[in-house]
Amino acid sequence: MIDDDDRYPEVNIVFEKQAWMNKAGCKGYPTEWWFPERGGVYKAAKEICERCPVRQQCLDYSLTLPNVIGIWGGLSGNQRRAVKSLKPDRPINHGTHSGYVVHRKRGEEPCRECKDAHQRYTETRRRIPNRSM
């Protein structure tokens, strides 16, 4: 459902409006605060999100959307990607260095396969000469 008076209808293409959005603390503020240009400042948006009564619903909803941009639930896109990587339902590609990293991010002891892959990875990295000289 798109409001007729919506100043940024192109943003609505990314998501469907939810009932909780009517209670959002960001209502009435400039939309561009939550969708800044690349490298733009979003401090004001994050401060408003801190006090928002539906912050968690906003964040949870944004985590279900693929490649959503802007500030949602007080987090930037990079911050949301970090949250997604910690989700327990994220599959682990066992026997790989990335599998080792996911185990560690979750606070788990990596499995033997992932430890071995990490060891191979670090040994290979140590053999590569420093090319910055």
Q: Cα separations (Å) of 98 from 18, 46, 89, 117, 123?
A: 35, 31, 15, 9, 15
Q: Where does the pLDDT of residue 25 fall: very low under 50, low under 70, confident under 90, or very high at 90 and above?
A: very high
At 74, is the secondary structure helix, strand, or coil? coil
- Residue whose C-alpha is closest to residue 119's, from 95, 102, 103, 93: 95
Q: Where does the pLDDT of residue 50 fall: very low under 50, low under 70, confident under 90, or very high at 90 and above?
A: very high
Number of H helices, E strands in the chain: 5, 0
What pLDDT sits at residue 89?
Answer: 66
- In this predicted structure, the answer to whether residue 10 has a pLDDT above a threshold of 70 is no
Evaluate the CA torsion angle 85, 66, 77, 118 in order and state its sign.
Answer: positive
At 72, is the secondary structure helix, strand, or coil? strand
Q: Give the domain ranges of the chain.
A: 9-86, 97-127
Name the least confident of 12-21, 27-36, 57-66, 97-106: 12-21
- In this predicted structure, the answer to whether residue 13 has a pLDDT above a threshold of 60 is no
The arithmetic mean of pLDDT across residues 46-71, rounded, is: 87
